[in-house]
Amino acid sequence: DIQMTQSPSSLSASVGDRVTITCRASQSISSYLNWYQQKPGKAPKLLIYAASSLQSGVPSRFSGSGSGTDFTLTVSSLQPEDFASYYCQQSYSTPWTFGQGTKVEIK
């Protein structure tokens, strides 16, 4: 199985901060990487697919980059509604796997 490792596991940030979350794959996965946002008690929501493509309706302050084994999700200016958990997911090979998640909390 391909292991997906996110860092940090949690972070505290303020409204307006630039936030970056990293996802590392245990082997090269090209650009077959997606990002999801999950709020407490809710289902995950797709933010980014193919490493850098913004899902329709997702604010442009979210962006993704990377290829191979190293990927990043960036929020350019954190808004109150962005406090949530974020997960990366690879589809390079089954079983499709997720990172352990990064919880973004209010400082």
Q: Point out which residues bind another protein (CB under 8 A).
A: 30-32, 34, 36, 42-46, 49-50, 55, 87, 89, 91-101
Read off φ and ψ for residue 23, nearest 5 degrees.
-130, 125
Minimum gap (Å) between residue 96 Cβ and another protein = 4
Minimum gap (Å) between residue 43 Cβ and another protein = 4
Q: CB nearer to another protein: give 6 or 78.
A: 6
The tokens 């796997």 sit on which residue?
Answer: 97
Q: CB nearer to another protein: give 74 or 100.
A: 100
Q: CB nearer to another protein: give 32 or 71.
A: 32
Q: C-alpha dihedral over 33, 37, 40, 43, to 10 degrees?
A: -70
Minimum gap (Å) between residue 93 Cβ and another protein = 7
Yes or no: say if 73 and 64 are a contact pair by the CB < 8 Å rule: yes
Q: Is the dihedral of CA 22, 59, 67, 97 positive or negative?
A: positive
